[in-house]
């Protein structure tokens, strides 16, 4: 399977590199997502059998004042990539986010629920989804949430840093979602890619996130319970209003993952097992 991946140093890209050592990974030095035409040209030149876009503008708060850059990276570049892939007949797999929803539903979000992003990041990711679909080729948009790994910047690594510095950590307890190990996202993408290679791929939007659902405070407590810290810090549960940020976050980010199970046989991962694996990797590197 001749796979081209946009992204090299991000959380999911690094996990994909473990699973697809023979794939071609393009970092910013080879494919700058602020130049959509250049990204499309790379696809045309390399002529891959399948393309995965694992790169994105993920600075949620900064996007509020940098919306034009987020639009280019999260929407216009994936759209250009998807059109280039469609011209080759190559399936295009693209990562999106729970932030396309407003968080107001009282149940897990399904793929066909009305969207309503609360901020610039969610709006640009939603436009990216629409541009990918409009390209007309075989494609999968994989919406995921609360991704974590041993690499890059993420909630787990932030909690470990704060846990070493403070006896008490204040964490939001009124936002609920599904923490998702990047390694499981990579495995899900590989399963989908293999299905397309075998002629069994189905285009569309699919949800994939970890289970069980948790609040950020629940997640923090799990990190502190599992991590080998000099002392176990206490978690003070606070509200979103107690921790204002430039971008609004959805209160309910829980995703219904039934469609991807029915279509591709991909079950929700238990994020607690993924957390233990990430902590083991981090502790081995110390």
Is residue 98, in this structure, part of any structural domain at all? yes
Cβ-in-10-Å burial (0-12, 13-18, 19+) of 64 comes to: middle
- The per-residue DSSP string of 153-170 comes to S-HHHHHHHHHHH-SEEE
Is residue 78, in this structure, part of any structural domain at all? yes
Structural domain boundaries enclosing 99:
3-152+181-209+255-269
Q: What is the pLDDT of residue 1?
A: 79
Q: What is the pLDDT of residue 9?
A: 93
Per-residue pLDDT of the chain (286 residues; tens, 9 = 90+): 799 999 999 999 999 999 999 999 999 889 999 999 999 999 999 999 999 999 999 999 999 999 999 999 999 999 999 999 999 999 999 999 999 999 999 999 999 999 999 999 999 999 999 999 999 999 999 999 999 999 999 999 999 999 999 999 999 999 999 999 999 999 999 999 999 999 999 999 999 999 999 999 999 999 999 999 999 999 999 999 999 999 999 999 999 999 999 999 999 999 999 999 999 999 987 6
Convert 42-63 to b/e letters by CB count within 10 Å (16 or more is b).
bbeeeebbbbbbbbbbbebebb
List the one residue out of 60, 44, 51 whose CA is nearest residue 6: 51
Is residue 9, in this structure, part of any structural domain at all? yes
Is residue 46, in this structure, part of any structural domain at all? yes
- The per-residue DSSP string of 3-21 comes to EEEE-SSSHHHHHHHHH-T
247-256 confidence digits (pLDDT tens) = 999 999 999 9
Could you tell me the pTM of the whole model? 0.95
99-139 confidence digits (pLDDT tens) = 999 999 999 999 999 999 999 999 999 999 999 999 999 99
The answer to whether 250 and 101 are in contact (CB under 8 A) is yes
Q: What is the pLDDT of residue 284?
A: 85
Tell me if residue 121 is catalytic.
yes
Q: Residues 99, 121, 243, 264: which is the catalytic one?
A: 121
Q: What is the pLDDT of residue 285?
A: 77
Is residue 232, in this structure, part of any structural domain at all? no
Q: How far is CA 282 from CA 134, 225, 278, 279, in A?
A: 41, 15, 6, 5
Q: What's 76's domain CATH number?
A: 3.40.50.720
List the one residue out of 209, 208, 210, 232 whose CA is nearest residue 220: 232
Structurally, how many domains does the chain consist of? 1
Is residue 166, in this structure, part of any structural domain at all? no
Is residue 229, in this structure, part of any structural domain at all? no
The answer to whether 92 and 85 are in contact (CB under 8 A) is yes
Q: What is the pLDDT of residue 129?
A: 98
% of the chain beyond a pLDDT of 70: 100
Cis, bond preceding 163 (omega within 30 deg of 0)? no
Give dist(CA 277, CA 254) in Å, integer: 23
Is residue 75, in this structure, part of any structural domain at all? yes
Q: What is the pLDDT of residue 50?
A: 98
């Amino acid at each position: 399977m001749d796979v081209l991946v946009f992204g090299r140093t991000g959380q999911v890209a690094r996990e994909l590199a473990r699973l697809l050592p023979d794939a071609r990974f393009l970092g910013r030095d080879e494919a700058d997502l602020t130049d959509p035409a250049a990204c499309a040209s790379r696809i045309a030149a390399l002529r891959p059998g399948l393309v995965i876009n694992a790169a994105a503008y993920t600075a949620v708060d900064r996007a509020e004042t940098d919306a034009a850059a987020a639009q280019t990276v999260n929407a216009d570049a994936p759209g250009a990539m998807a059109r280039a892939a469609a011209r080759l007949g190559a399936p295009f797999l693209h990562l999106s986010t729970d932030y396309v929803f407003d968080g107001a539903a009282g149940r897990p979000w399904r793929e066909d629920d009305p969207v309503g992003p609360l901020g610039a990041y969610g709006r640009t990711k939603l436009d990216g989804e629409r541009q990918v679909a409009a390209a007309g080729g075989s494609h999968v948009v994989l919406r995921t949430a609360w991704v974590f790994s041993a690499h890059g910047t993420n909630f787990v690594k932030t909690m470990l840093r704060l846990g070493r510095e403070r006896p008490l950590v204040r964490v939001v307890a009124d936002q609920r979602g599904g923490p998702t190990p990047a390694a499981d996202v990579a495995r899900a993408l590989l399963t989908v890619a293999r299905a397309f290679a075998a002629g069994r791929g189905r285009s569309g939007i699919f949800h994939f996130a970890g289970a069980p659902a948790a609040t950020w405070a629940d997640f923090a407590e799990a990190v502190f319970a599992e991590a080998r810290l000099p002392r176990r810090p206490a978690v003070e549960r606070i509200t979103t209003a107690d921790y204002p940020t430039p971008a609004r976050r959805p209160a309910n980010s829980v995703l219904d993952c039934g469609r991807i199970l029915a279509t591709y046989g991909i079950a929700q991962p238990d994020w607690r097992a993924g957390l233990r694996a990430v902590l083991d990797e981090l502790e081995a590197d110390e």
